[in-house]
Amino acid sequence: AKEAGKGRSAVFAPDMDSAIIGQLQMKAELARAVERGEFTVHYQPTVELASGRLAGVEALVRWQHPERGLVPPLDFIPLAESTGLIVPIGRFVLREACRQMRAWHDAFPSEPPMTVSVNLSARELDEPGLVASVRDALEESGLDPAHLVLEITESLLLVDLPATMRALLELRALGVRLAVDDFGTGYSSLSYLEDLPVDILKIDKSFVDRIGKTGPDDGPAQPVMVSAISKLGHALHLQLVAEGIEQEEQVSTLQELACQYGQGYFFARPLPSDALTELLAERAGQ
């Protein structure tokens, strides 16, 4: 039957697509999760390729669902964005990441100090309160702004360029650094890259994946894109971070291409804060 019974709530119509019911349920659960604070932050190391030194970490949110366990971000971030719940979730990640990095700085001082990177979504970048919440997170934690990096995906940068530019300049005026995430996948930023107030390019995993693969003539595929992005980055005086490094061979090729930093399962997976504290203690010989 196409039409729901009289007086019956549309949500419970018998022929309602179960996917839609699933969506609605998920939405309610996500709202509840925000109220109850069911989120946690994992941290994935970024390594200086030449020395193996731990240069920093990227903060990656997880939802600790009471029944479903640890839910990865790709399963809830899109819904969080469309509902606006990403704003309180993102604020939590920012505060928690700054607090945690300040605690690590105090416990494990290093020179230069480690940085912490936090991802920002489109919705957050649009939010008028963003700059104030970044400032608050820094003040509250006592983290030096120079050690906070905000990551923005390339595809986001051009949606509303003047507004984005204003937001980026305000953020940068706080002293934080900005990274273009997933660089090379957003198609169109090249001509704007010179004008954008960014400091770091994160080379997308899809390009790193091609290193070590077989090319069309059965020889090793040339890492053409990584090489080109690396040259572009150097010409613009940007720091380069290669994402999704899984093999040793990729490390040496990236070094040859003068990519300074890397991140990926080859070095470490994203870890809960306790596990990262242990790793830092080991490295510090404590």
Helix, strand, or coil here: 211?
coil
In the complex with ligand C2E, the residue whose CB is nearer, 4 or 81, is 81
Q: Which of 96, 124, 151, 154 binds Ca ion (CB under 5 A)?
A: 151
Distance between first and last Cα of the chain: 68
The answer to whether 241 and 198 have CB atoms below 8 angstroms apart is: no
Q: Is 163 exposed, middle or buried (0-12, 13-18, 19+ CB in 10 A)?
A: exposed
Extended beta strands in the chain, E state = 39-48, 54-65, 69-71, 115-120, 148-153, 177-183, 200-203, 239-242, 261-262, 271-272
User: Residue 104 or residue 183: which is nearer to ligand C2E going by CB?
Assistant: 183
Judged by CB under 5 A, which of 96, 124, 154, 181 binds Ca ion? 181
Q: Which of helix, strand or coil describes residue 8?
A: coil
Residue 57 near which of Ca ion, ligand C2E, none (CB within 5-8 Å, type-dependent) = none
Establish if 69 lies at the interface with ligand C2E (CB under 6 A): no
Shortest Å, Cβ 1 to ligand C2E: 40
User: At its nearest, how many Å lie between ligand C2E and the CB of residue 151?
Assistant: 6
Residue 264 and residue 251: Cα distance in Å, rounded? Answer: 10
- Identify which range of 115-123, 137-145, 165-173, 231-239 contacts ligand C2E by CB under 6 A: 115-123
What are the CA-CA distances from residue 225 to residues 206, 220, 260, 262 (Å)? 10, 14, 16, 16
- Is there binding between residue 74 and ligand C2E (CB under 6 A)? yes
Length of the chain in residues, anyone? 286
Regarding 182 and contact with Ca ion (CB under 5 A), the answer is yes
Segment lying near ligand C2E (by CB under 6 A), choices 23-31, 67-75, 139-147, 163-171: 67-75
Tokens of 136: 């608050």
Q: Which residues bind Ca ion (CB under 5 A)?
A: 119, 151, 181-182, 243
Q: Which residues bind ligand C2E (CB under 6 A)?
A: 44, 60-61, 72-74, 77, 86, 90, 93, 119-121, 181-182, 244-246, 263-265, 270
